[in-house]
């Protein structure tokens, strides 16, 4: 597949913002004192809004985007379109409560209920986003439970490293920074393992459709000479990334280094030497890796239509 950069930026920013808000929510429930909690929540909500705006960029008619919510009974995309604004609204409400001091006047259970609701909605949003791709059965690279696992774990990992960055910019209790940093290392390592498992699985897949099955002729020596047109079209541009095997393999290396190895090394070194700079570098480095990871996720998907549109005459 050939993904639009707006889709890549949307899914990566959305995942990081979800991870940030989930991290702040868990810390709040566990009773940790987080300095400038409302400001951090506003940053998370802003990232959610930016990611939502990025999703409009590749649309031919953005003014019709509201129609995407109409098929919520059968479409995971429609469900995502509905759940995301709810998640943004609950996050803004929580930030408002924290900024005005209303939380001090409320019974503890009221705020805890709101935070738990936010955590549940965040999980539902991850499910909706991942199932947009996992439910497409004819794309084997996506149609697997590991797609859901990866979307959730990668979002949590990038959200935790983003939390570390915000915590060193707005100084927190060193013990809190270390706790979040260790969780960021653990989730980054775990997400790296599951993502690599999916890469290895995709490499072993055998296409269910072939030229023989597509045209109903079982001759083993079928060779396509032309796609039936003299130039590229929508199908040739949007369903194949047009990159070489060498390029794709290098992207895999970039994902491994920038998405997982370097962030873990920076966080570990920063926590060991109490270096805010090293800890803070973890997220921007990892985000570059997440952009590459998401490109690889789409690029590795082999659409059956490429059996026909694979050779230009």
Structure tokens belonging to residue 2? 């050939």
Per-residue model confidence as pLDDT tens digits over 118-166? 999 999 999 999 999 999 998 899 999 999 999 999 999 999 999 999 9
Give the Cα separation of 100 and 106 in Å (integer). 12
Rounded to 5°, the CA angle 249-251-253 comes to: 75
Q: Which of 109-113, 190-194, 199-203 reaches the highest mean pLDDT?
A: 190-194
The pLDDT-based confidence of 313 (bands split at 50, 70, 90) is: very low
Position 169 scores a pLDDT of 94
What's the distance, Cα to Cα, between the start and end of the chain in Å?
Answer: 21
> Cα separation of 9 and 291, whole Å?
7
- The domain ranges of the chain are 5-212+232-307
CATH class, 5-212+232-307 region = mainly alpha
pLDDT of 230 strictly over 80? no
With 0-12 / 13-18 / 19 or more C-beta atoms within 10 angstroms meaning exposed / middle / buried, residue 208 is exposed
Report how far apart, in Å, the C-alpha atoms of 294 and of each of 53, 116, 178, 234, 266 are: 18, 29, 28, 22, 22
76 Cα distance to chain centroid: 16
pLDDT bucket at 58, cuts 50 / 70 / 90 = confident
Residue from 199, 207, 203 nearest 138 by CA: 207
Higher pLDDT pick, 312 / 285 = 285
Q: Are 129 and 14 in contact (CB under 8 A)?
A: yes
Whether residue 290 is predicted with pLDDT greater than 50 in this model: the reply is yes
Task: State what percent of residues in the chain have pLDDT above 90.
Answer: 64
Mean pLDDT of 80-85: 95
Average pLDDT over residues 92-115: 80
How large is the average pLDDT for residues 201-209? Answer: 84
The answer on pLDDT for 108 being more than 90 is no
Using CA atoms in the order 140, 142, 145, 149, what is the torsion angle rounded to 10 degrees?
Answer: 150
CA distance 97 to 79: 27
Q: How confident is the model at residue 311 (pLDDT cuts 50, 70, 90)?
A: low
CA-closest candidate to residue 139, choices 275, 4, 293, 298: 298
Q: What is the DSSP string of 194-263?
A: HHHHHHHHHHH---S--HHHHHT---TT------SSSS--HHHHHS-----HHHHHHHHHHIIIIIIIHH
The chain-wide mean pLDDT, for the chain, equals: 89
237, pLDDT greater than 50: yes
Long-range CB contacts (< 8 A, 24+ apart) of 189-194?
189/260, 189/264, 190/153, 190/157, 191/150, 191/153, 191/154, 191/156, 191/157, 191/260, 192/256, 192/259, 192/260, 194/146, 194/149, 194/150, 194/153
More confident residue, 214 or 33: 33
| Residue 153: per-residue pLDDT | 98
CA distance 132 to 215: 29
Q: How far apart are CA 191 and CA 156, in angstroms?
A: 9
d(CA 225, CA 208): 22
Q: What is the mean pLDDT of residues 210-239?
A: 74
Angle, helix 262-273 to helix 174-204, in steps of 10 degrees: 160
Q: In this predicted structure, what is the pLDDT of residue 105?
A: 55
- Does pLDDT of 312 surpass 60? no
If you average pLDDT over residues 93-99, what whole number do you get? 92
Q: Is the pLDDT of residue 13 over 60?
A: yes
Are 101 and 95 in contact by the 8 Å Cβ rule? The answer is: no
Over 70: is that where the pLDDT of 185 sits? yes
């Amino acid at each position: 597949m050939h993904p639009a950069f707006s889709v890549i930026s949307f899914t990566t920013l959305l995942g990081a913002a979800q991870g940030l808000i989930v991290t702040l929510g868990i810390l709040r429930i566990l009773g940790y004192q987080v300095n400038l909690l409302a400001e951090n929540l506003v940053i998370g909500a802003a990232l959610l809004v930016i990611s939502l705006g990025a999703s409009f960029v590749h649309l031919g008619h953005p003014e019709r985007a509201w129609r995407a919510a109409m098929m919520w009974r059968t479409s995971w995309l429609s469900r995502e379109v509905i759940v995301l604004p709810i998640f943004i609204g609950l996050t803004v409400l929580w930030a408002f409560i924290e900024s005005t001091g209303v939380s001090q006047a409320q019974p503890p259970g009221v705020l805890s209920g709101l935070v738990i609701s936010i955590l549940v909605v965040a999980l539902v949003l991850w499910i909706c986003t991942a199932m947009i791709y996992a439910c497409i059965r004819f794309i084997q690279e996506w149609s697997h439970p590991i797609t859901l696992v990866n979307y959730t774990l990668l979002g949590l990992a990038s959200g935790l490293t983003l939390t570390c960055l915000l915590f060193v910019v707005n100084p927190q209790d060193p013990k809190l920074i270390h706790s979040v940093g260790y969780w960021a290392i653990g989730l980054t390592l775990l997400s790296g393992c599951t993502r690599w498992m999916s890469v290895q699985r995709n490499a072993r897949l055998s296409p269910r459709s072939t030229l023989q099955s597509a045209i109903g002729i079982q001759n083993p020596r079928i060779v396509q000479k032309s796609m039936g047109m003299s130039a590229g079209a929508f199908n040739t541009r949007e369903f194949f990334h047009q990159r070489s095997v060498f390029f794709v393999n290098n992207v895999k290396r970039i994902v491994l280094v920038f998405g997982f190895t370097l962030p873990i090394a920076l966080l570990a070194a920063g926590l060991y030497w109490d270096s805010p700079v090293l800890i803070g570098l973890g997220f921007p480095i990892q985000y570059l890796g997440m952009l590459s990871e998401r490109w690889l996720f789409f690029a590795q998907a082999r659409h059956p239509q490429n059996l026909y549109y694979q050779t230009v005459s």
